[in-house]
């Protein structure tokens, strides 16, 4: 089937789905979740094949993003079920007013229509995106990277089987073409695709934002910063940085840069090295490579950092470390290097925390908490379609409401404009 044919079928499905009652959508979501776990043997076999094929090209950290097991597959199904209990935004009244002449003007939420998602080697995106689009009344057309092709196809097959009794199988589609050409066809599917969401590295996102002729929502590369202030509880700071860097380094909300106030650098940096390097090595875990500026290097060594390191999303056990003169220096560094995803300050001073949250212009700004919470599930939105780092239409974790637009409904009684 050609991409145009696939998009045409998705477009027809989106028309039916847009007026589908919430109760029907929820029953379909339950069936999708059950189908996912029911097809576990087939999906996991396909995933084993993908993992084996990717070992020669992907790092172990990226292999971890690709790999599925029973627990992860069960979590994917639970993510779909969680959407059942969330409010259906479609048809929600946003505001209304009645003019003096009796003309009633209402604004209500409506689906976007057909949403394209281009993503790389994270098969959980397949079910997350499909379920979010479905609940919000949108058909989706998925284009995964070649590394996850077998897994994603097996997942989509299971979801489409679940939707067959509802006559909505074409609400979830996946491109056969896993090459760049397939992505370009989605990027230029004007009239058939209502929105395009890229999820992946900086190169993929830049190609879509710069090259797409359909509306594109920019989801974030995450050069996430944690600033350890002079007023920080250093044991808390150590715990936060450790969690933000090592709990899952391959995701966009992992910390990539640690900024440390010069007043606490001599005390905190050895603590940081101990938890990220020495203790992990003693436990048989991958130590974090610290790429340190000149001041930090003189205290704890590490790899001498280049300026490029402060503009890199490592997605690995690597952390760039810089010592700054104070809060103003930290904010200035973040302004120059941030991708506007997630930033954090660790401090006990409320005034300094308030200044940080006021002046840092990112989608999520934290005080005394790990950046790893930037996630649809953690924010109570259910699974997410991505983290938007732009300001128009949607920002931050994109849940159901972010996949809707609105329209005006105007009711009169023979009104004419004079």
- Sorted by where each begins, the domain ranges of the chain are 3-219+398-411, 224-373
pLDDT of res. 61: 81
pLDDT of res. 303: 97
Query: Is residue 33 within 8 Å of 26, Cβ to Cβ?
Result: no
pLDDT of res. 376: 80
- Where do we find the tokens 């150590």? 238
Fold classification of 224-373 is Aldehyde Dehydrogenase; Chain A, domain 2 (3.40.309)
- Where do we find the tokens 């790092």? 59
Tell me the C-alpha distance between 348 and 100, whole Å.
54
pLDDT of res. 395: 87
Report residue 21 as tokens: 């009652």
Report residue 154 as tokens: 């097996």
Backbone φ and ψ for 69, nearest 5 degrees, come out as: -140, 180
Tell me the C-alpha distance between 199 and 118, whole Å.
6
Fold classification of 3-219+398-411 is Aldehyde Dehydrogenase; Chain A, domain 1 (3.40.605)
Q: Tens of pLDDT along 74-121?
A: 999 999 999 999 999 999 999 999 999 999 999 999 999 999 999 888
Q: pTM (2 decimals)? A: 0.84
pLDDT of res. 245: 98
Element housing 165 (H / E): none
Tell me the C-alpha distance between 322 and 37, whole Å.
46
* Residues 143/149/152/158 CA torsion (nearest 10 deg): 110
Tell me the C-alpha distance between 381 and 129, whole Å.
13
Residue 141's closest CA among 122, 158, 160? 160
- Cα 340 to Cα 223, 242, 343, 375, distances in angstroms: 8, 21, 8, 15
Tell me the C-alpha distance between 310 and 88, whole Å.
41
pLDDT means per 10 residues, the chain with 418 residues, are 93 97 98 97 96 88 89 94 94 96 96 94 91 97 92 97 97 90 91 91 82 87 95 98 95 95 98 97 96 97 96 95 97 96 97 97 96 88 82 87 95 94
pLDDT of res. 13: 97
Tell me the C-alpha distance between 201 and 64, whole Å.
16
Which 8-state DSSP code applies to residue 88?
P
Q: Tens of pLDDT along 18-30?
A: 999 999 999 999 9
pLDDT of res. 359: 97
């Amino acid at each position: 089937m050609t991409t145009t044919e696939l998009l045409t079928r998705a477009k027809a499905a989106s028309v039916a789905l847009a007026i589908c009652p919430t109760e029907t959508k929820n029953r379909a979501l339950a069936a999708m979740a059950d189908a996912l776990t029911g097809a576990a043997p087939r999906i996991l076999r396909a995933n084993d094949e993908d993992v084996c094929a990717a070992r020669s090209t992907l790092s172990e950290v990226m292999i971890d993003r690709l790999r599925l097991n029973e627990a992860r597959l069960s979590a994917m199904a639970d993510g779909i079920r969680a959407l059942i209990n969330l409010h259906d935004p479609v048809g929600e009244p946003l505001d209304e007013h009645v003019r003096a002449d009796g003309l009633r003007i209402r604004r209500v939420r409506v689906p976007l229509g057909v949403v394209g998602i281009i993503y790389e080697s994270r098969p959980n995106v397949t079910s997350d995106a499909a379920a979010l689009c479905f609940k919000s009344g949108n058909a989706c057309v998925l284009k995964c990277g070649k590394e996850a092709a077998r897994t994603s196809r097996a997942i989509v097959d299971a979801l489409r089987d679940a939707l067959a009794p509802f006559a909505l199988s074409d609400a979830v589609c996946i491109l056969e073409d896993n090459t760049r050409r397939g992505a370009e066809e989605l990027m230029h599917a004007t009239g058939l695709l209502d929105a395009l969401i890229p999820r992946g590295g900086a190169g993929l996102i830049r190609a879509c934002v710069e090259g797409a002729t359909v509306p594109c929502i920019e989801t974030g590369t995450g050069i996430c910063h944690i600033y350890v202030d002079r007023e920080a509880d250093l044991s808390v700071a150590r715990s936060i940085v450790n969690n933000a860097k090592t709990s899952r380094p391959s995701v966009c909300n992992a910390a990539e840069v640690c900024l440390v106030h010069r007043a606490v650098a001599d005390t905190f940096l050895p603590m940081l090295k101990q938890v990220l390097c020495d203790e992990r090595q003693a436990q048989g875990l991958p130590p974090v490579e610290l790429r340190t500026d000149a001041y930090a290097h003189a205290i704890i060594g590490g790899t001498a950092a280049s300026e490029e390191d402060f503009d890199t999303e490592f997605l690995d056990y690597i952390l760039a470390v810089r010592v700054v003169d104070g809060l103003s220096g930290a904010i200035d560094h973040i302004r120059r290097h941030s991708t506007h995803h997630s930033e954090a300050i660790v401090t006990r001073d409320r005034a300094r925390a308030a200044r940080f949250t006021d002046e840092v212009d990112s989608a999520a700004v934290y005080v005394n908490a790990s950046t790893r919470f930037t996630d649809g599930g953690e924010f109570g939105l259910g699974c997410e379609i991505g983290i938007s780092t732009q300001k128009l239409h949607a920002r931050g974790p994109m849940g159901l409401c972010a996949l809707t637009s609105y329209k005006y409904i105007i009711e009169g009684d023979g009104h004419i404009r004079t």
